[in-house]
């Protein structure tokens, strides 16, 4: 009997194991979604509580950050910049995003060199133009990546990817990655450009963030780079023209545009009178660049502080379970 039962036992049906190597990328993604759904089934009340905690944390964090920025703007900007530099690096190493890590490393090395040049004393006459050229390049590249990423997302949502036989997930991934690259490096570039602008202007002595300038400005000297102005106001220059603000101070056109648009300054580098940016930006295409810069300033909170808020909210249920 035992000998006869053995073959029957051997022939009993067993659960078939699914080989992930035989699954396509779409099937594997669907399988992960199904497992996640089963894992969170029956925890609806906890999810509602998490959403409420997250919304309250967002409101409290926003109030705290606004008050910090108003009372101690310099420390807020430095900590925010450090956050934007370090937080993506942590997720990059954790998730093995080597492509982003290589671009982050290249950007960090070149920007560190530019920052080193901008903080040297005495300041070289070529340094301001070098600084503004680099960050203007970053600004334009980030603008291009942002536009391409946004169009790719709209392209996918409208179904145009089907005409080119591109998978929806691949097209959407390309759009999201391009948009993130554009916004992230755009924010980083503008913040570093602002720091370099402050250092260079303070070194030249024509600008002081807290008091009066230490040097008097001559009529033929540009307060941004400290170099002599050769082209007259009513004269057409071969390389660039001379620009005069409403306060009657004159500058190299490239210098004052770098100061205002790239360096995020809206006052005269010498007398701190407010600059009329609408008068400076006559080209409609340049106005879109200026609006893009404002959007980048608004997104600094999402890049720097949103991961911190989400991390705190995720730790609250763990603390409650341990108690």
Residue 74 within a domain:
no
pLDDT top residue among 99 and 47: 99
Residue 264 within a domain:
yes
Bridge partner residues of 244 (DSSP):
250
Tell me, what CATH number does 269's domain have? 3.30.40.10
Among 6-15, 17-26, 156-165, 173-182, where is mean pLDDT lowest? 6-15
pLDDT at position 40: 61
The model's pLDDT over 105-121, given as tens digits with 9 standing for 90+, comes to 999 999 999 999 988 88
What's the domain count of the chain? Answer: 1
Structure-token pair, residue 167: 């998978």
How far apart, in Å, are the Cα atoms of 226 and each of 166, 198, 238, 246?
Answer: 53, 14, 20, 20
DSSP letter assigned to residue 96: T
Q: How confident is the model at residue 3 (pLDDT cuts 50, 70, 90)?
A: very low
pLDDT at position 16: 45
Residue 55 within a domain:
no
Among 15-29, 110-124, 239-253, where is mean pLDDT lowest? 15-29
Residue 244 within a domain:
yes
15 preceded by a cis bond (ω within 30 of 0): no
Instruction: Give Cβ neighbours of residue 169 (< 8 Å, ≥ 6 apart).
Output: 25, 26, 29
Q: Is the pTM of this model over 0.85?
A: no
The mean pLDDT value for 38-52 works out to 67
Sequential DSSP letters for 38-55: HHHTT-HHHHHHHHHHHH
pLDDT at position 113: 94
Domain region containing 228: 216-282
């Amino acid at each position: 009997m035992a000998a006869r039962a053995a073959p029957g036992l051997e022939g009993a049906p067993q659960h078939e194991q699914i080989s992930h190597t035989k699954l396509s990328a779409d099937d594997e993604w669907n399988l992960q979604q199904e497992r996640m759904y089963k894992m969170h089934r029956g925890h609806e009340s906890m999810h509602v509580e998490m959403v409420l905690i997250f919304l309250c944390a967002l409101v409290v964090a926003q109030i705290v950050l606004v008050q910090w920025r108003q009372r101690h703007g310099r420390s807020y900007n430095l900590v925010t910049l450090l956050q934007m530099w370090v937080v993506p690096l942590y997720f990059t190493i954790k998730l093995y995003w080597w492509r982003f890590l290589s671009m982050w490393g290249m950007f960090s090395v070149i920007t560190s060199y530019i920052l080193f040049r901008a903080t040297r004393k005495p300041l070289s006459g070529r340094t301001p133009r070098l600084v503004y050229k680099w960050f203007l390049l970053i600004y334009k590249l980030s603008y291009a990546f942002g536009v391409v990423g946004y169009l790719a997302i709209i392209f996918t949502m409208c179904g145009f990817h089907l005409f080119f036989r591109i998978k929806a997930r691949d097209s959407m991934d390309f759009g999201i990655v391009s948009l993130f690259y554009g916004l992230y490096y755009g924010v980083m570039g503008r913040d570093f450009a602002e720091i370099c602008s402050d250092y260079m202007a303070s070194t030249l002595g024509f600008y002081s963030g807290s008091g009066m300038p230490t040097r008097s400005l001559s009529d033929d000297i540009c307060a941004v780079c400290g170099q002599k102005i050769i082209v007259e106001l009513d004269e057409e220059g071969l390389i660039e023209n001379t620009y005069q603000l409403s306060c009657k101070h004159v500058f190299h056109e490239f210098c004052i545009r770098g100061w205002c648009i790239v360096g995020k300054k809206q006052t005269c580098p010498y007398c701190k009178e407010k600059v009329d940016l609408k008068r400076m930006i006559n080209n409609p295409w340049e106005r879109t660049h200026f609006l893009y810069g404002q959007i980048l300033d608004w997104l600094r909170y999402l890049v720097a502080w949103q991961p911190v808020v989400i991390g705190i909210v995720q730790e609250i249920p763990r603390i409650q379970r341990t108690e």
